[in-house]
Amino acid sequence: MTNPFEGRQGTVVPGFVDLQVNGGFGHDFTSKPATIWDVGAILPRYGVTGFLPTVISAPVESALAALAVLAGGPPSGWTGALPLGLHVEGPMISPQRIGTHPADALVEPSLELVDCLVAAGPPKMVTLAPELPGAEEVVRRLCAAGVVVAMGHTDATAAQAESSFGWGISHATHLFNAMSGLDHRAPGAPAAVLGHNVLTSGLIADGLHVAPAMLRVAHRALGPERIALVTDAMAATGLGEGQYVIGSVPVTVSGVEARNGGGRLAGSTATMDQVVRTMIEATGCSLEEAVTMASSTPAAVIGHEPHLGDLVLLDNDLAVAATAIGGTIAYRRAQT
């Protein structure tokens, strides 16, 4: 394969894969799933070559509409980061750990809901709380359909979480966030993740969601082969301060913080290249390790085989200078 970045200076790394993108650039996937292609067209400027568009807790019709958008394929002439499937985050999550999900949208684990999703898709990933009644049957049904089942927005004890791994849960959504705590006598879900030998986990390394000390804990306990860096990007990503939504929830962005009316963090405005830089700064990990967490590990979580031509050119400041998808330039920063 010829070098798509020939003549430009920098470090070439594999394309980034983001498993949790709620929207961006003024678009929200839960309320307007057709905008998946609009966001995907912009993501290469941040090094993303593949992503999971994510819908949060809402009536099942929202997820079905997003699955239909993906099944319909991109508009004619479209280029961008490839949607690799749908991530359905909720509504089968804990009322005690809802984060910014709308409380009135939550439901208990339901085989009827799962069968509806599987028949229409299936989605690539589903995040749920394993301590809820009926969760075991739902997890097993999803796994049988080839869905990656993740534990998240959960108040599970460590013991409850560990039991759910035996049902087929193989991933944790945004470790530490919207989870039971890490108490030394009452270890919650994060302890089960950190103590496991195989389980992978998403991690929002945006400098806000997880303190640097806990990023270091995760890095040392799990290593780069088990951490999938995610942005948890929402509609304000790539824009400025103002009023936005995530699903049906109003969000105010001030500085780089996105918060709902109750003051809780409501997704992130970070981009994947920023997350990579933050992880390096917080943990002292190498660029190679950080890129692994942003590329090959998340790809492996969902069984995706990236194209050899999915590449990113980073400059000396680790900012994205160019991105190639399938060997073709999808983004090139203007040279000064």
Partnered with residue 249 across adjacent β-strands are 246
How far apart are alpha carbons 127 and 52 in whole angstroms? 13
Helix (H) or strand (E) holding 144: helix 135-144
Q: Between 272-283 and 212-222, two packed helices, what is the crossing angle to 10 degrees?
A: 90
- The residues carrying an active-site annotation are 232
Q: Which two tokens stand for residue 112?
A: 């009827």
Positive or negative CA dihedral for 67, 236, 291, 38? positive
- Picking from 64, 102, 106, the residue whose alpha carbon sits closest to that of residue 86 is 64
| CB-CB neighbours of 243 under 10 Å | 10
| CA angle at 225 for the pair 223 and 227, rounded to the nearest 5° | 70
- Picking from 299, 250, 326, 290, the residue whose alpha carbon sits closest to that of residue 31 is 250
Helix (H) or strand (E) holding 82: strand 82-83
How far apart are alpha carbons 197 and 222 in whole angstroms? 8
